[in-house]
């Protein structure tokens, strides 16, 4: 019991406190790849601290929805941090829900952010909201079909079972369905977390930004909460990619040794994925907004192929 509570809190803290540093590592790597020195990997923490001591400026036209949204954004991500198995699949708090719940909790946060984007009455916010919802909606079928592909092999939509089942399969990486599902889920993760080539997280050019346009009116502690929430979302998506598709090292028991290996494995997986993301973001340009649906339908076809391969190879 004590071990359960301990590991649950430990996992949650790893996500919540580790998320900014992951963003920092990606930024640093990107900077080095682009020939810049870049800020230190702990810069996101200093940014958050700076935002927290700043005064909040609120647009006059806004309603309580605008002031509630940052709390919904951080609340949903803090909740998700309990659900995703980060270090071990033996933690029991994942009874809260399966991967479908997780995706809907993410959508809930997007829903409120999009409302807040409309609330200030500026064109930028509305534009961001509209585009964000379009991408979220178009990504949804791929997410579900990729989940279906994984659930078919795992015989479950529970995150723990999915990871345990994948870990017990020695020929995992030779399975075409697994690789196809990974590719499609990877593309969706890029879209959902607002990374290149779908959205550029570091742009502040009005006509190209999506997520940043939507949260343009936020400042001070509200902005800090929203930024933190998006760091956590990125962390969770990369963890899902790492743990579901490359399940080695995730602790199946609460033995201290196993958990230590879990920590080690997590750091390596996230490091590799962060490096991959940085290389990708350096090599790729942002897609035109109306080319994004083509990218997403491509990833949908990959996911569907993963499902078909299961049914025809069984």
Partner 1 sequence: MLNSAAMLTLLAASLMLFAGGAAGALVFDRESGRCRRMTHGLALCGTVLVLILGIAGLTGNSFELLLPRILPLAGGLALGLDRLSAFFLLTIAVGVIPSTLFAVGYTRQYRQEQALLGFALNVFVPAMMLVVLSRNVLTFLVFWEAMSLASYFLVMTEKDRDETRSAGWLYMVMTHAGLACLLIGFLAMLQATGSFSMPEWARAAEGVDSGVRSLVFLVMAAGFLSKAGAIPFHVWLPRAHPAAPSHVSAMMSGVMIKLGVYGLIRIGFEWLGPGPGWWGVLIMIVGAVSALLGVLYALIDSDLKCLLAYSSVENIGVILLGVGAGLVFRSYNLGSLAALALMAALYHSLNHTVFKGLLFLSAGSVVHVTGTRITEEMGGLLKRMPHTGAFFLIGSLAISAMPPFNGFISEWLTFQSLLLSFRVPEQFINLVFALCIASLALTAGLAAACFVRAFGITFLALPRGQAVEQAHEADWTMRTSMGLLALACLTLGVAPVLALRVLSGAVNEFLGAAPDLSFDWSNIAAASAFGTIAPLWVAVILALLMLAAWVGLRVYGANFSRRYYETWGCGRAVQTADFEYTAAAFANPFKRVFAFLYRPVEETEIEAHSESRFFVKTITYRHESRSIIEDSIYAPIVATVRRLAAKARTVQSGNVHGYLLYILAALLTLLLFAK
Nearest to 27 by CA among 189, 192, 200, 285: 200
71 contacts partner 1 (rule: CB under 8 A): yes
Name which of 59 and 275 has its Cβ closer to partner 1. 59
Distances from the Cα of 185 to the Cα of 31, 143, 156, 302, angstroms: 26, 7, 17, 9
**Least Å from the CB of residue 150 to partner 1:** 11
Name which of 155 and 256 has its Cβ closer to partner 1. 155
Contact (Cβ atoms closer than 8 angstroms) between residue 303 and residue 184: yes
Residue of 24, 230, 304, 309 interacting with partner 1 (CB under 8 A): 304
Residue of 46, 95, 248, 264 interacting with partner 1 (CB under 8 A): 95
120 contacts partner 1 (rule: CB under 8 A): yes
Name which of 36 and 54 has its Cβ closer to partner 1. 54
19 contacts partner 1 (rule: CB under 8 A): no
41 contacts partner 1 (rule: CB under 8 A): no
**Least Å from the CB of residue 59 to partner 1:** 4
Distances from the Cα of 124 to the Cα of 137, 208, 290, 305, angstroms: 20, 10, 18, 38
145 contacts partner 1 (rule: CB under 8 A): yes
Residue of 1, 2, 35, 60 interacting with partner 1 (CB under 8 A): 60
Outline where 99-219 has alpha helix (H). 99-119, 123-154, 159-167, 176-192, 211-214
298 contacts partner 1 (rule: CB under 8 A): no
110 contacts partner 1 (rule: CB under 8 A): yes
DSSP bridge partners of 251:
88
Q: How far apart are CA 79 and CA 74, in angstroms?
A: 9
208 contacts partner 1 (rule: CB under 8 A): no
Contact (Cβ atoms closer than 8 angstroms) between residue 115 and residue 69: yes
197 contacts partner 1 (rule: CB under 8 A): no
User: Which are the contacts of 158, defined by CB distance < 8 A and separation ≥ 6?
Assistant: 94, 98, 99
Which of the residues 121 through 140 are near partner 1 (CB under 8 A)? 121-127, 129-131, 133-134, 136-140
3-state SS, residue 197: coil
241 contacts partner 1 (rule: CB under 8 A): no
96 contacts partner 1 (rule: CB under 8 A): yes
Q: How far apart are CA 239 and CA 269, in angstroms?
A: 8
Phi, psi of 297 (to 5 degrees): -70, -30
287 contacts partner 1 (rule: CB under 8 A): no
91 contacts partner 1 (rule: CB under 8 A): no
């Amino acid at each position: 019991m004590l071990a359960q509570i301990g590991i649950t809190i430990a996992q949650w803290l790893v996500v919540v406190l580790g998320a900014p540093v992951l963003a920092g590592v990606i930024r640093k790597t990107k900077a080095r790849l682009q020939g810049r020195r870049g800020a230190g990997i702990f810069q996101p923490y200093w940014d958050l601290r700076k935002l927290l001591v700043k005064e909040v400026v609120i647009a006059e036209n806004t309603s309580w929805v605008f002031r509630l949204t940052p709390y919904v954004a951080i609340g949903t991500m803090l909740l998700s941090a309990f659900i995703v198995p980060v270090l071990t699949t033996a933690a029991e708090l994942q009874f809260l829900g399966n991967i479908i719940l997780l995706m809907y909790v993410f959508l809930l946060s997007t829903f409120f952010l999009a409302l807040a984007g409309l609330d200030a009455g500026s064109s930028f916010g509305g534009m961001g909201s509209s585009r964000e919802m379009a991408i979220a909606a178009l990504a949804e079928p791929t997410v579900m079909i990729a989940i279906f592909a994984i659930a078919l092999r795992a015989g479950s939509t529970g995150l723990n079972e999915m990871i345990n089942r994948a870990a017990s399969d020695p020929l995992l990486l030779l399975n075409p369905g697994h690789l196809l599902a990974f590719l499609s889920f990877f593309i969706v993760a890029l879209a959902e977390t607002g990374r290149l080539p779908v959205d550029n997280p570091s742009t502040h050019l009005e006509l190209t930004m999506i997520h940043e346009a939507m949260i343009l009116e936020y400042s001070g502690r509200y902005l800090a909460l929203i930024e933190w929430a998006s760091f956590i979302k990125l962390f969770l998506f990369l963890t899902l990619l790492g743990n579901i598709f490359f399940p080695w090292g995730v602790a199946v028991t609460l033995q201290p040794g196993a958990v230590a290996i879990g920590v080690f494995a997590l750091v390596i997986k996230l490091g590799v994925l962060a490096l991959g993301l940085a290389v990708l973001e350096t090599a790729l340009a942002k897609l035109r907004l109306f080319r994004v649906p083509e990218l997403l339908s491509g990833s949908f076809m990959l996911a569907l192929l993963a499902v078909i391969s299961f049914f025809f190879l069984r």
